[in-house]
């Protein structure tokens, strides 16, 4: 069961005592500092982000794999290193991270700019970004523990709106609804999953507006559910197609 923080493990952990909870990458850096001094770490990276970062690079590139890069390296330089071409987007820090387009490839991998736990996914122009983001949202719908309403309901509602966009029925109202729902989830979810689950959809709207607008219907609103269309199977089974078997204004 997710718990409200603080306290954090660094102050109240194992047996209520301060506890170090870190990964191998951190421990290796600590060992290097102990052996070589802080100047060894500060010799690479930026002033605010000393040292190096391990990136797990996957997706549409010639050389996927594990890379160790100095903090401060630009996204464009990372893409060049892994031999990526025709790149339309990168997803940094996993599905809950940030989706960036070519206009942001000059940004740097660093705590003060684009922070990451190490995941770096590359998508070229053959990929449907709406489909990619829907895949991320499917993951969050499945992973939600269901404890709090904002996350349990919000992930599903956002996914349904994205489905409308993917099927060519989305409107500007759907995009506005996604952003409002994302704000509610960020501010009221019980744990970090709910607070960040909307990130892929929000990033898609903010960083790829032209691509999305090209796929929207030229109406301000279209119902998410057509009640009359839902009765089509019943009409077929009963052999009826007269006006009385139809609903007027059946969209909701």
Average pLDDT for consecutive 10-residue bins of the chain (252 residues)?
A: 76 88 86 95 95 97 98 98 98 97 98 96 97 97 94 96 92 94 95 95 96 84 72 88 76 43
Question: How much is the pLDDT for 252?
Answer: 42
For residues 139 and 104, membership in a common domain is answered with no
Question: How much is the pLDDT for 250?
Answer: 45
For residue 77, being part of any structural domain is answered with: yes
For residues 136 and 118, membership in a common domain is answered with no
For residues 137 and 83, membership in a common domain is answered with no
Number of helical (H) and strand (E) elements in the chain, helices listed first: 11, 5
For residues 84 and 159, membership in a common domain is answered with no
Last residue of some domain: 74, 103, 124? 124
Q: How far apart are CA 95 and CA 123, in angstroms?
A: 13
**pTM, full prediction:** 0.81
Tell me which residue has tokens 């956002």: 158
Range of the structural domain that residue 169 is part of: 129-213
Last residue of some domain: 124, 140, 161? 124
CB burial string 59-94: b at 16+ within 10 A, e below: bbbeebeebebbbbbbbbebbeebebeebbbbbbbb
96 neighbors 196 (Cβ within 8 angstroms): yes
For residues 162 and 110, membership in a common domain is answered with no
Task: Determine the distance from the C-alpha atom of residue 213 to the mean position of all C-alpha atoms in its chain, rounded to a whole number.
Answer: 20
Question: How much is the pLDDT for 228?
Answer: 78
Question: How much is the pLDDT for 227?
Answer: 76
Question: How much is the pLDDT for 5?
Answer: 72
For residues 90 and 142, membership in a common domain is answered with no
For residue 5, being part of any structural domain is answered with: no
For residues 165 and 100, membership in a common domain is answered with no
For residue 9, being part of any structural domain is answered with: no
68 neighbors 52 (Cβ within 8 angstroms): yes
Question: How much is the pLDDT for 251?
Answer: 44
- Give the total number of structural domains in the chain: 2
Q: Indicate the SS3 state at residue 114.
A: strand
The enclosing domain of 182 has a CATH number of 1.20.1440.230
Q: Indicate the SS3 state at residue 95.
A: coil
Question: How much is the pLDDT for 225?
Answer: 66
């Amino acid at each position: 069961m997710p718990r409200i923080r603080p306290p954090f493990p660094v102050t109240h952990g194992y047996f209520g005592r301060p506890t170090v909870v870190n990964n191998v990458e951190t421990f290796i850096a600590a060992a290097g500092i102990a052996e070589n001094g802080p100047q060894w770490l500060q010799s690479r990276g930026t002033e605010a982000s000393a040292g190096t970062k391990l990136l797990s690079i996957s997706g549409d590139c010639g050389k996927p794999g594990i890379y160790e890069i100095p903090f401060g390296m630009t996204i464009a330089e990372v893409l060049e290193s892994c031999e990526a071409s025709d790149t339309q987007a990168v997803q940094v820090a996993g599905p809950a991270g940030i989706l960036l387009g070519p206009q942001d490839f000059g940004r740097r991998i660093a705590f003060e700019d684009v922070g990451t736990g190490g995941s770096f996914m590359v998508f070229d122009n053959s990929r449907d970004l709406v489909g990619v983001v829907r895949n991320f949202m499917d993951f969050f719908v499945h992973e939600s523990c269901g404890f709090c309403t904002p996350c349990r309901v919000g992930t599903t509602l956002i996914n349904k709106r994205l489905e409308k966009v993917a099927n060519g029925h989305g409107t500007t109202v759907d995009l506005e609804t996604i952003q409002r729902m994302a704000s509610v989830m960020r501010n009221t979810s019980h744990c970090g999953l709910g607070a960040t689950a909307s990130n892929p959809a929000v990033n898609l709207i903010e960083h790829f507006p032209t691509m999305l607008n090209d796929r929207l219907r030229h109406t301000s609103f279209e119902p998410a559910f057509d009640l009359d269309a839902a009765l089509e199977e019943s009409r077929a089974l009963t052999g009826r197609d007269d006006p009385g078997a139809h609903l007027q204004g059946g969209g909701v």
